[in-house]
């Protein structure tokens, strides 16, 4: 089961690169991107996932604009060649690792197309290893890094064309791999004694000459079991960005958050996130929502196009919905990203606040599996 990567000195086990070291069915390797206009006119998301022990590769592209969200979904039998990052009309190309990537979605029956190039603005930010046990079982064990950048290119959908201008369209690349629940549910075993619970916030923000990174996972009592934070310099030219061996930025020793939820939902009407530096200095960032993107457009909690589901040798589909007609408390609508106007110390930035709140969370008054604010 050799592949092109086997010609490079990158092996971590005695197996060929295409064969993962774990037999866990939930093994995955994933690209994820967002992009958004600085005034909140639109947001788009992109995803490509490989599930080597399920033999599946899937992808998605979705845009929200003008009160509507449109989504392309694709799935195929996983290729035996890891460098083949294509699903039907969808293709992801690493032009220059950790600098430049290109995503194309050729004309297809859904009417959704794109030709987009991501150019990095910062070095990569490696998050801490994320391990989470659910009902006594290891449910997530992942490595993740994020990188800030700008987008250029064109998007077409529903007879409309969107020109993506790098002067006003920012974004984030998110790469992760390891283990997390994917595909059909595994056999349940002994029934759980507690309500399902998961609380996650993630907020990468672009500023004029730097970027800030915030992320946190909490249990039902509101206690963090993992967090990340960073303040890193930004560069105009990707060629100026230091290599992966350089660790940039200021030391962050803690993160905090205060969300003000919209009544009847689990979606933030406004928020404050805080980064606490090693010297004790606090950066309190106020966030104001501009537009909301449902992550089900990229397969997250999607009832039909969830990650790692077998759809056949090759399958694609398109869908759309009006945002104000969605049921705010439906489980599939809980995982969201909101484009946020950010302010701190008289300066303005733009970024996103990703939110997923399932089950109890004592601090914000959630007591049931899906009770609203």
CATH of the domain at 205: 2.40.370.10
| Contact criterion met (CB below 8 Å) for 150 and 350 | no
pLDDT of residue 189: 77
Q: What is the largest CA-CA distance in the chain?
A: 56
Residue 372 lies in a domain: no
Q: How far is CA 285 from the centre of its chain?
A: 21
Cα separation of 273 and 266, whole Å?
17
pTM of the predicted model as reported, rounded to 2 decimal places:
0.95
Q: How far is CA 294 from CA 45, 336, 371, in A?
A: 10, 5, 19
Q: What angle do CA 98, 139, 131 make, to 5 degrees?
A: 55
pLDDT of residue 5: 87
| Contact criterion met (CB below 8 Å) for 286 and 344 | yes
349: β partners: 342
Residue 290 lies in a domain: yes
What are the mean pLDDT values of the chain's consecutive 10-residue runs (373 residues total)?
A: 85 87 91 98 98 97 98 97 96 96 98 98 92 84 94 98 98 95 80 87 97 97 96 94 72 96 98 93 97 98 96 98 97 98 97 98 96 97
Residue 234 has what DSSP assignment?
-
Cα separation of 301 and 298, whole Å?
9
| Contact criterion met (CB below 8 Å) for 35 and 44 | yes
Cα separation of 70 and 300, whole Å?
15
pLDDT of residue 244: 64
pLDDT of residue 13: 86
The model's pLDDT over 133-178, given as tens digits with 9 standing for 90+, comes to 887 788 888 999 999 999 999 999 999 999 999 999 999 999 999 9
For strand 336-344 and strand 347-358, is the pairing parallel, antiparallel, or unpaired?
Answer: antiparallel
pLDDT of residue 133: 87
- Cβ–Cβ contacts within 10 Å for residue 249, how many? 17
Q: Which helix (H) or strand (E) holds 295?
A: none
Of the chain, the end-to-end C-alpha distance in Å amounts to 52
Residue 371 lies in a domain: no
pLDDT of residue 60: 98
Residue 64 lies in a domain: yes
Residue 342 has what DSSP assignment?
E
Q: What are phi and psi of 122, to 5 degrees?
A: -135, 170
- What three-state secondary structure class fits 323? helix
Residue 231 lies in a domain: yes
pLDDT of residue 245: 57
Residue 373 lies in a domain: no
Residue 53 lies in a domain: yes
CA-wise closest residue to 285 among 272, 303, 269? 272
Cα separation of 299 and 305, whole Å?
5
Residue 370 lies in a domain: no
Structural domain containing residue 133: 4-185+193-364
Domain count, the chain: 1
């Amino acid at each position: 089961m050799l592949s092109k990567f086997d010609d490079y000195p990158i092996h971590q086990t005695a197996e060929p690169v295409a064969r993962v070291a774990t037999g866990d069915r939930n093994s995955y390797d994933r690209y994820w991107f967002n992009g958004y206009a600085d005034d909140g006119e639109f947001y788009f998301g992109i995803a490509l996932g490989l599930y080597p022990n399920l033999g599946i590769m899937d992808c998605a592209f979705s845009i929200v604009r003008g009160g509507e969200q449109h989504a392309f979904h694709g799935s195929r039998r996983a290729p035996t060649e890891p460098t083949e990052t294509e699903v039907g009309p969808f293709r992801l190309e690493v032009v220059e690792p950790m600098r430049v990537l290109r995503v194309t979605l050729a004309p297809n029956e859904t009417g959704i197309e794109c030709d987009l190039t991501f150019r990095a603005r910062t070095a990569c930010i490696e998050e801490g290893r994320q391990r989470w046990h659910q009902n006594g079982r290891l449910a997530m064990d992942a490595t993740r890094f994020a990188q800030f950048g700008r987008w250029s290119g064109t998007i077409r959908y529903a007879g409309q064309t969107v020109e993506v201008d790098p002067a006003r369209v920012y974004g984030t690349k998110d790469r992760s791999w390891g283990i997390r629940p994917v595909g059909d549910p595994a056999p349940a075993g002994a029934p759980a004694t507690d309500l399902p619970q998961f609380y996650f916030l993630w907020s990468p923000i672009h500023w004029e000459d730097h970027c800030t990174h915030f992320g946190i996972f909490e249990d039902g009592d509101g206690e963090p079991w993992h967090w990340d934070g960073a303040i890193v310099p930004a560069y105009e030219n990707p060629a100026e960005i230091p290599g992966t061996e350089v660790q940039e930025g200021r030391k962050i020793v803690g993160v905090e958050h205060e969300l003000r939820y919209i009544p009847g939902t689990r979606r933030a009407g406004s928020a404050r996130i805080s980064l606490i530096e090693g010297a004790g200095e606090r950066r309190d960032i106020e966030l104001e929502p501009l537009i909301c993107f449902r992550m089900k457009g990229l397969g997250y909690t999607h009832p039909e196009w969830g990650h790692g589901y077998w759809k056949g040798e090759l399958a694609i589909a398109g869908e759309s919905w009006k945002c104000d007609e969605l049921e705010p408390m439906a489980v599939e609508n809980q995982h969201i990203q909101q484009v946020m106007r950010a302010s701190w110390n008289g300066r303005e930035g733009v970024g996103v606040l990703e939110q997923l709140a399932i089950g109890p969370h004592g601090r914000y008054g959630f007591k049931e599996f899906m009770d609203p604010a």
